[in-house]
Amino acid sequence: MENLLILKGNIIFTQTPEEFKVYKDSYIVSNKGKIEGIYNILPEKYQNCLIKDYRNRLIIPTFVDLHLHASQFIQCGMGMNKKLLDWLNDYTFKLEKDFSKAQFAQEAYNSFADELIKRGTLRACIFATSSTIGTEILFEILKKRGIGAYIGKVDMDRNAPESIIESKDQLIKGTKYLIEKYKNEKLVKPIITPRFAPTCSDELLKELGSLANKYDLPVQSHLDENLDEIKWVQSLFPKTKNYSQAYYLNDLFGQTKTVMAHCIYLNEDEINLVRENNVMLVHCPDSNINLRSGIMPVRKYLDLGVPIGLGSDIAGGHRIALNESMVRAVQLSKILNINSPGIKPLSIQEVFYLGTKSGGKFFGNTGSFEKGYSMDALIIEDDKLISGRYSIEDRLEKFIYTGDDRNICARYVEGKYIEI
Ligand SMILES: [Zn+2]
């Protein structure tokens, strides 16, 4: 019975995007990190087990952030007057070169991990930098902290400062080293990460695609974020019909599990390619507004059945807390709705679903509390004036809109308590 974890409290999650499932004053039981069930009355077989009684607090799934750059955490909230390509040149690239210095990487990635975990994101798809040493440090830090993550060495061999690009052979060597070292890890795993098509030669993309196939590894990158970027891709890849094809033709677009950030301007051919290849899109609302990239047509994609998760996109996005990205996703959808009343805004249930169960699918059965799912949970405490007066759904909505790490009083990943 030592593998059992029983939490008691007000359990709330989204099994579907339409509604919250609520179990008031109930027990959620997991065995070896997997959920066995939720019970209003605890079955007899569990009666003698230790129960962690969280009383009137909320028990919710942990947040899943499908797109962020760990190395950019310390530049959050800077350079926000710029658009994507200038912002990358003036801020991001300059900072990223310092991650080849072990001490700097250690310090910066530790503060990133502290904040990520405090804010309740315990599954994430993360870009490190092109530095193999720096990326290895990030693997070690997150492995020690016990959270679930895909981590990518950011591969690029052109169109970035010399200080952060490597030759194709160096990149492949470093990427392979990290794959070999971490491919059998349970929670922290490698992901193939071309930064974005403009910083990768066709030959590099091809080799990354064969690595993804050879090791059956997932892929992450950026796609159709900004109109200037799209024009640039057209000039760099004149033979491809569209931006998505630059990845697709190199086996980096759904041939293995793939997640693509932004995807604001997908044309109809690209949407079809996304659907045929089951590519997961990441909506990064804060970033898209900060860098004036545009607004993702989330409703249109959802209606077409395209899988979507949420991303803070640190540091295009300025806040690492995913509940804040949920709020921004609702707000942006309301702007679209104000301008075109036919486009239904996103509901609080829908954005919670995107940031938990929908994004969680990238990690297997995570982000929900259904049977067989991973016991990844946050315990949320709110003010007595609130908890005594409002419904569980209202309390969760209030936490999403106004809550922060002060409201999160415990965190679990696969049934293990996560220290902060
Ligand atoms: Zn990004």
Residue spans of the domains in the chain: they are 4-62+368-417, 63-363
Architecture of domain 63-363: Alpha-Beta Barrel (3.20)
Q: For residue 222, how far is its CA from the centre of ligand 1 (angstroms)?
A: 6
What pLDDT score does 103 carry? 98
CA angle 325, 317, 297 (to 5 degrees): 60
The alpha carbon of 376 and the centre of ligand 1 are apart by a number of angstroms equal to 25
Give the Cα separation of 33 and 375 in Å (integer): 5
pLDDT value of residue 1: 60
What CATH architecture does domain 4-62+368-417 belong to? Answer: Roll (2.30)
Burial zone of 255 (CB within 10 Å; 0-12 exposed, 13-18 middle, 19+ buried)? middle
CB neighbourhood size of 110 (10 A): 15
Provide the residues around ligand 1 (an ion) whose CB is within 5 A: 313
Within 112-181, strands assigned E span: 121-127, 148-152
Q: From ligand 1's centre to the CA of 315, what distance in Å?
A: 8
- The DSSP line for 313-337 is -BTTBS---HHHHHHHHHHHHHHHH
In the reported structure, the alpha carbon of residue 67 is separated from the centroid of ligand 1 by a whole-number distance in angstroms of 6
What is the rounded distance in angstroms from the CA atom of residue 153 to the CA atom of residue 192? 8
Q: What is the mean pLDDT of residues 371-394?
A: 96
Residue 2's pLDDT band (cuts 50, 70, 90):
low
Report CA torsion sign: 345, 351, 352, 357: positive
Q: How many CB atoms lie within 10 A of CB 267?
A: 14
Residue found by looking up tokens 């190199």 in the block: 250
Q: What percent of the chain clears pLDDT 70, i.e. is strictly above it?
A: 100
- Residue 2 token pair: 């030592």
CA of 193 to the centre of ligand 1 (A): 11
Cα 370 to middle of ligand 1, angstroms: 31
pLDDT at 31 over 70: yes
What would the pLDDT profile of 89-147 be if each residue is shown by its tens digit?
999 999 999 999 999 999 999 999 999 999 999 999 999 999 999 999 999 999 999 99
Q: What is the mean pLDDT of residues 51-80?
A: 97
Token representation of residue 362? 């990238």
User: Do the domains 63-363 and 4-62+368-417 match in fold?
Assistant: no
Q: What pLDDT is recorded for position 420?
A: 94
